[in-house]
A and B are shown apart, each in its own frame.
Chain A
Amino acid sequence: MTEIGVVLNSALALSMIWLLIYFGYRQYRLDKFRHELFELRNELFLYAVDGGISFKNSAYRMLRDRINAQIRFAHFITLTRAVLFANMHRRQPLPRAEQIAASWSAARQGLDDDARKKMDSITERVTRTVTYHLVTGAAPLAVLVGVMGILVKVAKLFHRTEESTTLRVAKELNIELLEEQAIAAQQQERELCEIVV
């Protein structure tokens, strides 16, 4: 009879841990991730308020939309999705991805040096934030990236490179693809709204 007590005790403790992880910690991570993106969006807005870029500029609008898309679809940024999409993208690129990348590149070219630097800095931090969220959300990936980080640091001793480990990971995991998918979904919805209106 003591065994049944031990089993029930363990089950109760496991249930509490389960509740904490799936209804507490996971929600907290999502809120924290969105908060960091909101801060970047706010930084972009304040830069425009200070006259660094016009609110009507296509680069401003695109970057704001990009951040908005990440905030909105943050709950879809998972390791499973990243791996499946990256694998699929190698065989069959997402139709809108190239178009989105080309429009961003064109909009960026039209900016003055200061604005371009600012836009690049915010874009880079968005990618870093998305990558960090993705990596820390999956234990196996976190371990893998930890090992990769050490290897990159060792490689940096021999080859001088400015690229950070996070950005390297972002490139390997094709984070841009997840971002572009979110933007495409947002654009499609907007077009659908325009048709209905």
Chain B
Amino acid sequence: MTTQEFSTMVQKYQALVYTVCHQLVPDVQEAQDLTQETFLAAWRAIDRCPPGFEKQWLARIAANKAKDYLRSAWVRKMNTPGDEVLALEGAPPGMQPEQQVLDALGEEELTEMILNLREPYCTPCRLVLLEQHTMAEAARLCGRPPKTVEAQVYRAKKMLAQQILQNDRVPCERRSVHGTV
């Protein structure tokens, strides 16, 4: 594809790409930047564009760009120490706060909580946390990309830990062992 043809393609699909970006990332400036990033990525991979499916192909690239942006934003937000994370300071080195909270829970209770998770978290968490599959196996069984499964399990753990802390379900004696609360 020549640069002239690509320029025509940008003109034709810029509204579609911007709409996808803006629906996923409401900030106008960010959506505009993601639109440009989408077209630059499309130019680099233009040979892989299936003829006749330009609309879906560009929308997928835009969704991927938005996903990367939202994932970074989510991680930044969650890793900013809030009360619940600060409350868990003093945990053994290398132990994540949410893992500590999950470990404090009884097996039966944890199983119930995992099975009650909503999609898209229930299936990968059941496979990884309950059935002890590896991330790669779980990804294959779910039909999802491995990185997506990893991210979903990671988020699910964070959510479960928050849920437990909010419900005040962590036994008091366990908390006191780690010198918290």
Instruction: Specify whether A and B are partners.
Output: no
Contacts from A to B (Cβ < 8 Å): none
